A and B are shown apart, each in its own frame.
Chain A
Amino acid sequence: MNSTSSAVQHGIAQMESSTRAESIGPKTYLVAPSVAVLLVWITVPTVMTFWFSFQHYNLVNTAGREFIGFANYLYFFSSSSLTIAALNSIYVVLGVIAITVCLGIGLVLLLDRDFTGARIARVLAISPFFVMPTVAALIWKNLLLDPVNGLLATVLGLVGLPAVDWFGTFPMFSIIVIIAWQWIGFSTLILLTALQSLDHELKEAAAMDGAGAFATFRFIVLPHLARPIGIIVMIETIFLLSVFAEIFVTTSGGPGLASTNLSFLIYVQALLRFDVGLASTGGVISIILANVVAYFLAKTVSRSLEI
């Protein structure tokens, strides 16, 4: 804190020497660039997407585009795939949040202690977050989870257990594990920062008052972590709703629709069927959904975060 305040003093001193003095006007022009940039980025493609969603427009069919009203929407809402995909999107978010928060807390409780090389261990623990999603998925799919030559199958074989066809039998679970692995790095980072700001003396005082390890955790550590957990929930929700690479690399959304989320459903329309009309419809639906989720986040998490 010392360095900050001296920086501020230094700053103020500099300002006093400054001769220019302007009145402070309205600051809308400060937000404007950001909002304008995003508006352009969002609006132009969105308007095009919206427009295409009412057309029969297939890239590989040169018959041309044709206005077909709500036919694409009817198609989406009449097939069960939309519900399945929406649910899978939600499973990913909930599953990954649950795993990253629980394991993250466990991990930072271990890492918060003093031991030789603790600082290096803390740095290393964040690594999975830096790995490209495609790479993570390829490594897990092939080197680790492959049921014939993968490492896990070999280890299971050594203790006499049969190989498990992870992506065929538990497609959603396997994908959630891969994504959670990447995001544990992130939750560890946030939680560890928060935990280290918690006074060790406070914990020690609690211990001296006869509070057990569990009570210390329950009444001191956990409340302190409430806010960072809120952050994790929010950030992960935002990123995980549009997860794609992990599914593309591992299961291609299958078997059947078992691991198809909204992103993948739209991908199938856009780049496997080249049906721009249907893909755009999916895009519009997902935009609406994103806004619904944003609304709920506003009602719940962000309120407690005092945004």
Chain B
Amino acid sequence: MIAAVGLAALALSPAFAEEITIATVNNQDMVIMQEHSSVWEQKTGNTINWLVLEENVLRQRVTTDISTNGGQFDIITIGSYEAPIWGKNGWLLPVEDLGTQYDYADIFETVRKGLSVDGKIFALPFYAESSMTYYRRDLFEKAGISMPNQPTYSQVAEFAAKIHDPDNKVYGICLRGKPGSGENMVPIMTSVNTHGGKWFDMTWNPQINGEAWHKAVNLYVDLLNKYGPPGVTSNGYNETRALFASGNCGMWIDATVAAGYLFDPAESKVADTVAFTKAPVADVPNGAALQWAWALAIPKSSIKTEVAKSFMAWATSKEYIREVGEKKGWILIPPGTRKSTYDLAEYQKVAPFANFVKDAILSADPTNPSKDPVPYTGITYASIPEYQSIGTEVGQQIAAALTGQQTVAQALAAGQAFTEKTMEQSGYLKK
């Protein structure tokens, strides 16, 4: 009798403590989420096991697990690239049923759409970003130049030449150079897009050997060889950010999310001299600035979906953003996901870049990343499973061109050949 009552109570009690496992990236915003999650644990009685890894390692770990149905994770951290593909593969649980309190309408539509397939949302955005041009006001003043609202790429080259001062370890421009689909291909693709180039035409023919690619990649290689720091091919996003933060770069075109740290005197030597403006353009405005979101999703293999949903609803909510602002500092809140974030007076006060970033995110359109229509979505990626492989290969080829092992023409020809082969193998193109 007692046992039966106990059992019934157990079954009825929604607050039965569970243990969930969350895999995430070691980015600052996620580290704050990890620190702050004790609040949720206390509120619900559940506990969290965290797996925090650097981005590349995490992607391997999570992809291996989800594709083999390994069942290790209840919540995973994925990006705009994975969410729609994995959702389509049936690997993720749709997360549309969190109730009115969650306020889906408050999430920026462009971000929400990027994480959805056929109108169903598969991942909840944690923070979103676009790109912009960071520059050093002091160096520009000293050189007697001023940064326009949106520079062109030729102006960028001009400015870089004027402020380049390698003897004092100040380099005209820093860009990512480490080969990888999520590394050097990011600044390269925004430049290719605005020069009018694209990955594929409407019938999936690779366009890497096209004129726009030649222009953009030659420009990239020239800029970095003439005005870049030494060792560019080892610099990914993190290394480049550290370089800018330590005062070694005159300009840097990269993710908006870096602003929070570059303006933070504890993290940056240039907090009082850094300034920003729009990402540069060349021929067309399409795809000149990236758009990317980090999001939380539940793998199909998870058996603790209710608890997982409860955590995700909390960690991507308005309330979470407010709590982080109050407890950790307003400049550290995860940006770019919700309209309400930009109504917070406290945030506006400490973050001079807030509205600028919002506009950049809203104006970047991943469904329309190039001059001509394309069959894929994504500004710095193409939303097909094969992209990782293609981006990695083309990135390697361009890195080899950057160090002078081959010419840009050779690199692009090799990238084109590889991509054609891959697309044939996967059946997009007829052999």
Contact = CB atoms under 8 A, between A and B. Distances in A.
User: Are A and B associated in one complex?
Assistant: yes
B180 interface: yes
B180 A252 contact: yes
Main secondary structure of the interface of A (DSSP, over half): loop
> Which residue among B169, B181, B234, B243 has the maximum number of chain A CB atoms within 10 Å of its CB?
B234
Given A271-B60, A274-B388, A148 B399 contact: no
Given A255-B179, A255-B405, A256-B406, 15 more contacts: A59-B67, A59-B68, A149-B246, A167-B233, A167-B234, A168-B230, A168-B231, A168-B402, A251-B234, A257-B396, A258-B405, A271-B63, A272-B60, A273-B389, A274-B389
Interface string B19-60: 000000000000000000000000000000000000000001
A126 interface: no
Interface string A154-192: 000000001111111100000000000000000000000
Interface in B382-412: 385-386, 388-389, 392, 396-397, 399-400, 402-403, 405-406
A254 B233 contact: yes
A58 interface: yes
Contacts, number: 108
B424 to A, nearest CB: 11
Given A252-B180, A254-B179, A60 B233 contact: no
Contact of B230 (A56, A60, A148): A148
Interface residues of A, number: 36
A95 to B, nearest CB: 19
B54 to A, nearest CB: 10
A252 B396 CA distance: 9
Given A59-B68, A167-B234, A168-B234, A253 B396 contact: yes
Contacts of A256: 396-397, 399-400, 403, 405-406
B178 interface: yes
Contacts of B406: 256
23 contacts: A56-B425, A59-B67, A59-B68, A62-B90, A141-B234, A146-B231, A147-B229, A148-B229, A149-B246, A164-B230, A165-B231, A168-B232, A251-B233, A252-B180, A253-B179, A254-B178, A255-B399, A255-B405, A271-B63, A273-B388, A273-B389, A274-B385, A275-B389
B231 A273 contact: no
Interface residues of B, number: 38
A280 to B, nearest CB: 14
Interface string B227-262: 001111110000000010010100000000000000
The 8 residue pairs across chains A and B that have the minimum distance between CB atoms = A256-B400, A273-B389, A147-B230, A147-B231, A59-B67, A60-B385, A255-B399, A165-B231
A255 B403 contact: yes
Contacts of A89: none
Contacts of B67: 59-60, 274
A250 B388 contact: no
B89 interface: yes
Interface in B87-145: 89-90
A28 interface: no
A268 B425 CA distance: 17
Nearest to A59: B67
Contacts of B179: 252-255
Contacts of A6: none
Interface string A37-67: 0000000000000000000101111110000
Nearest to B395: A254
Contacts of A56: 425
A215 to B, nearest CB: 46
Nearest to B183: A252
Nearest to B91: A62
A246 to B, nearest CB: 13
Contacts of A252: 178-180
